[in-house]
Amino acid sequence: MFDATAQAIAKEVGIEEFKAELLPQDKVSAVQNLLNKYGAVAMVGDGINDAPALATATVGIAMGGAGTDTALETADIALMADDLTKLPFTIALSQAALKIIKQNIGFSLFIKLVAIIAVFPGWLTLWLAILADMGASILVTLNGIRLVGIKPDRK
């Protein structure tokens, strides 16, 4: 029964090769084989039997609504709604967040470097240091708030 369900889903999403009705150790072996073949693997699961494979995968994704606590704790990402169509948005949001984090780190390090350089000739007073630090904190926060504007595609 599950084999037919897996086959129907695989056909619908355009996957030619799939595995169904695997035991936990077989899932781990399958993920390890895919890791060896492709280098990176994402695993989606919802049950306690999926936890070892979720931990083995490059990125483990737990289906939050119906998922077990073990799967949720093991996974890197927890989809709180059992809707895989939200996965592309989750990936896009994660990529945007990483980009903004890198921008914020770069900006903060640049401000600190400028402050350190300004100390030696005596240009940096205590009040300018406080202003630079608070200004950097506010700009980093405002830059992070841009993530709120990222919305899922409506189809």
pLDDT of residue 67: 60
CA angle 86, 64, 71 (to 5 degrees): 120
* C-alpha pair distances (Å), 123 with each of 10, 117, 120: 65, 9, 8
The count of residues in the chain is 155
Average pLDDT on 130-137 reads 92
pTM for this model (two decimals): 0.69
Mean pLDDT of the chain, nearest integer:
88
* C-alpha pair distances (Å), 120 with each of 37, 109, 115, 127: 54, 18, 9, 16
Q: Which CATH number fits domain 2-82: 3.40.630.30, 3.40.220.10, 3.20.20.70, 3.40.50.1000?
A: 3.40.50.1000
The continuous run of DSSP H or E covering 42 comes out as strand 42-45
Give the whole-angstrom CA distance, residue 141 versus residue 136.
8
Instruction: Name the pLDDT band for 148 (thresholds 50, 70, 90).
Output: very high
pLDDT tens-digit map of 10-68: 888 788 888 888 999 999 999 999 999 999 998 888 888 889 999 999 999 888 766 67
